[in-house]
Structures are given as C-alpha cells and as structure tokens.
Structure 1
Amino acid sequence: MRGYVAMTAQEVAEFMASGLFDVSDVYAPTSQFIVDHQDLDDEEIEYTLSMVAAEDALEMKTATSGAACVLAFEVPAESISESHDMSISLSSPLKWESLECLFEVSSDGEELTWYATQEIDANLASWLK
C-alpha cells in the first residue's frame, strides 16, 4: 500500500543517514477512504492524500528545518497494524529502501515537485537552506 509522510528536509537528511524513520501513522488510501471518496479515481486519491501530507509538512517547517517535503512509500502489508479513515498505523519503522519518491512542497502549499529517490542526495543541500 502506498503511504505518504510529511517531513522537513532536516528529517529527510536524518532518515537518509539512518535508513529508518519511526512514525506511528501515515496517510494511505485505506478501504474507508476509498469508500468515502468513490467519486475519485486512483490518481485523484493519491493526489489528495499527498496534499494532506503537504499541509502537515508546511506546518512542521521552521526557519532552520529546511523545505517541507512529502515522502511516498510502498508500505509492506506486514508493517500495517491498523487501518483508519485516511491513514494506517505501522508496527515497524519505515525503511529508506521502501521509499518510492519525494515531493518538495511549494512555500504556498499549492504545488508538489516530484523527485526520484536517486535525485534526493543531489538536491538535499538546497532543500536544507
């Protein structure tokens, strides 16, 4: 299942260094969310959840934390302990290897810029500014 996590660039740097990120809940297209939003197709569901995470990332951003980011993961089924309205609870930390991509959130929260995992290291220094 795809999951979306709000982070700051500083947290991304720490996650990249450690390889693990311990978070209890991540936004995900749960069965309940899909039932509640039957008017949305798969792409619209993914976009909606990534934008909710983007709002959280902007709220987490400080003068020293760097850019607001949203990370998209492929969450293994065995890591999911509970399913909620629009999130899942995890029984184990997220692994860097499960990362699918990163979105940089624009300062107004209206746009997400997509980066492949192999582009993160090259762009991290600019996101930390």
Structure 2
Amino acid sequence: MSTPETPPNEQVVTNVRVDWEQPTTAAVPANQFATTVGLPAADGKPDGIYLTIGILEPPFLTGSPDEMQKQLQGLENVTTRLLGRYVLTRARLAELINLLQVAAKKYDAVSERGLNDDGGPAE
C-alpha cells in the first residue's frame, strides 16, 4: 500500500518480530522424504519444489522366528504414512537446506562431546 510519502513503486522495509506458537501436539518422527520439482509456470521455471514427509514403520510381527519369516513373506508391500506435503520456492529450499545443515552440525558436536549430568552440552 502506498502513502502520500511513499511512491507506489517503492518498497517500504521494516523489521517485525515473528513469534512461533507453542506446539499443541507431540512431535511425530519422520523417516521418509520425497521431493518433486513442480510443473513449469508461464516463464518456463518450475513453480516450486514439493516436499513430502512420511513415516514408514516396520510391520508388526509375532510368534517364533519361523512364523515371523512366514508373515514377512506374505507381505507384498508396506505403506508410508503421509505426515505432510509442502511446496517451497527455490529460495526457501535453500534456507531449509542451510537450517538442516546447521542443525546437523550442532547434533554432531553434542554427540561427540556428550552431555553433562544436567542434560546440557559438556564443555
């Protein structure tokens, strides 16, 4: 929106704090990921990257090892439960990749050092 002080084709930039709402459900593990490049738009570029996240749980087997082997042989497939589908722009994909790389480095650093008795990272 333009104001008398701002020409219509000039952007106004301001900083706004973003607060995340608190989760209301438990975190769900995810172990299956798929991506699809979107269809091309009028300019020929893909309209985004489609990210699908799911979880594949092992089949529930009971009985002796031989009985479980027979149950496995009777399976034709196992199904990934869909957790969510998201569409990302190329720029947002780059942000997500960076965020995941930072998280992986932090995870590795904590894993290598271990944790103190209070649950915090070891010095």
The normalised TM-score by structure 2 is 0.20
The structure whose residues are more often strand, as a share, is 1
The structure whose residues are more often helix, as a share, is 1
The normalised TM-score by structure 1 is 0.20
Give the number of the structure whose alpha-carbon radius of gyration is greater. 2
Q: With CA pairs under 8 Å and 6+ residues apart, which has the higher RCO, 1 or 2?
A: 1
